[in-house]
């Protein structure tokens, strides 16, 4: 039988913060037994408007308890990446969650998530070594393993992810399908600043000058999308020219792919993806494009 909840487990109308995976698991199990839907929004914290939009999407279904996880997952960072430096702002994150009517925040420590001797991981398949995975070896094994753990701890009906991390969203979809996970994965369009820059927790690393240069990523995607009727070569050239015109932007990749990140089609729906370093900050972005044949 499910144990009744106490005020330390769940406070209707307020947010409750849990650190212990087993306790959180017990709380969501009791809420489900009481007829509530459970939706999960996985994050690494330092919450911004993009995260707020994911939380609002998670509320779309009536009678839902939204769980936001806040965990800077060490296994998805490579050596020399910004794991130590990544912003950790739990107190203000909890305030944002309260404003957004989140029921439960799950903020575990790395030791609670990865028990000593843990060795089994999720293998992302070949897509895990491409695009982001080519620059960040092992990144998607780390992401999918922690997302699978979160799905098992929370057992959500819905889990919401942003299109800003398009390859991550694609791989999480694929993991849920390939491993018969009962969670529905929902994608949310990218929230942008007025000048086009995709919101990202890492934007706070940028100096004023770098912040200005960083608009080159979204500008390049828009320039590419603008000429999409003329075909793939025109898209890549327009995007590349835009990036090349801005000093201080060091391109990592600019690629056109199919919407499922397979090879780009000659025409029809496609995705244009970019990653670049501005100073020491690595930024990513992407946009949907409709490729024409170049005849029109």
Ligand X SMILES: Nc1ncnc2c1ncn2[C@@H]1O[C@H](COP(=O)(O)OP(=O)(O)OP(=O)(O)O)[C@@H](O)[C@H]1O
Ligand Y SMILES: CC(C)(CO)[C@@H](O)C(=O)[O-]
Q: Does 44 bind ligand X (CB under 6 A)?
A: yes
Catalytic residue, from 51, 123, 139, 184: name it. Answer: 51
Give the count of alpha carbons within 13 A of 239, CB side only. 30
Distance of closest approach, residue 246 Cβ to ligand BAL, in angstroms: 22
Q: By the 8 A CB rule, do 201 and 86 touch?
A: yes
How far apart (Å, rounded) are the C-alpha atoms in residues 163 and 146? 19
Q: Does 285 bind ligand BAL (CB under 6 A)?
A: no
> Which CB sits closer to ligand Y, 197 or 236?
197
The answer for residues whose C-beta is within 8 angstroms of residue 153's C-beta and 6 or more apart is 21, 24, 25, 106
Q: Does 165 bind ligand BAL (CB under 6 A)?
A: yes
Q: Does 203 bind ligand BAL (CB under 6 A)?
A: no
Distance of closest approach, residue 256 Cβ to ligand Y, in angstroms: 23
Q: Record the tokens describing residue 17, joined without a space.
A: 């913060």
Q: Does 163 bind ligand BAL (CB under 6 A)?
A: no
Q: By the 8 A CB rule, do 214 and 197 touch?
A: yes
Q: Does 167 bind ligand BAL (CB under 6 A)?
A: no
How far apart (Å, rounded) are the C-alpha atoms in residues 142 and 90? 22
Q: By the 8 A CB rule, do 295 and 271 touch?
A: no
Give the x-and-dash track for 171-200 against ligand X (CB under 6 A). Answer: -----------------x-xx------xxx
How far apart (Å, rounded) are the C-alpha atoms in residues 283 and 200? 8
Q: Does 76 bind ligand BAL (CB under 6 A)?
A: yes
Has 51 been annotated as catalytic? yes
Q: By the 8 A CB rule, do 56 and 92 touch?
A: no
Q: Does 147 bind ligand Y (CB under 6 A)?
A: yes
How far apart (Å, rounded) are the C-alpha atoms in residues 160 and 53? 10
Q: Does 190 bind ligand Y (CB under 6 A)?
A: no
The answer for residues whose C-beta is within 8 angstroms of residue 113's C-beta and 6 or more apart is 21, 71, 73, 146, 149
Q: Return residues touching ligand X (CB under 6 A).
A: 43-44, 50-51, 53-54, 161-162, 164-165, 188, 190-191, 198-202
Which residue positions form the known binding site for beta-alanine?
76
Q: Which residues define the annotated binding site for (R)-pantoate?
A: 76, 168
Per CB under 6 A, residues contacting ligand Y are: 42-44, 73, 76, 143, 146-147, 165, 168
Binding-site residue set = 44-51, 76, 162-165, 168, 191, 199-202
Residues with a known catalytic role: 51
């Amino acid at each position: 039988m499910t144990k009744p909840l106490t005020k330390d487990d769940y406070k209707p109308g307020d947010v409750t913060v849990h650190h212990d995976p087993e306790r959180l698991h017990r709380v969501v199990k009791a809420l489900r037994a009481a007829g509530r839907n459970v939706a999960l929004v996985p994050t690494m914290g330092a919450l911004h408007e993009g995260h707020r939009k994911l939380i609002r999407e998670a509320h779309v279904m009536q009678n839902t308890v939204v769980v936001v996880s806040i965990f800077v997952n060490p296994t998805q960072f490579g050596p020399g990446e910004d794991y130590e430096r990544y912003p950790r702002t739990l107190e203000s994150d909890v305030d944002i969650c309260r404003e957004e009517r989140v029921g439960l925040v799950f903020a575990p420590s790395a030791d609670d998530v990865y028990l000593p001797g843990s060795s089994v991981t999720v293998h992302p398949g070949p897509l895990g070594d491409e695009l982001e995975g080519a620059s960040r070896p092992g990144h998607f094994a780390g992401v999918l393993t922690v997302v699978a753990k979160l799905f098992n701890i929370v057992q959500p009906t819905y889990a919401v992810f942003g299109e800003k991390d398009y390859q991550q969203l694609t791989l999480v979809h694929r993991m849920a399908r390939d491993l018969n996970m009962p969670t529905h994965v929902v994608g949310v369009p990218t929230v942008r600043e007025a000048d086009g820059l995709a919101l990202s927790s890492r934007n706070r690393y940028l100096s004023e000058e770098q912040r200005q240069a960083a608009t080159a990523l979204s500008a390049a995607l828009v320039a590419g999308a603008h000429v999409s009727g003329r075909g793939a070569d025109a898209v890549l050239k327009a995007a590349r020219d835009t990036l090349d015109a801005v000093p201080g932007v060091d391109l990592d990749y600019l690629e056109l792919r199919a919407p499922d990140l397979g090879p780009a089609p000659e025409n029809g729906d496609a995705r244009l993806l970019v990653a670049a370093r501005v100073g020491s900050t690595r930024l990513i972005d992407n946009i949907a494009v409709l490729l024409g044949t170049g005849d029109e």
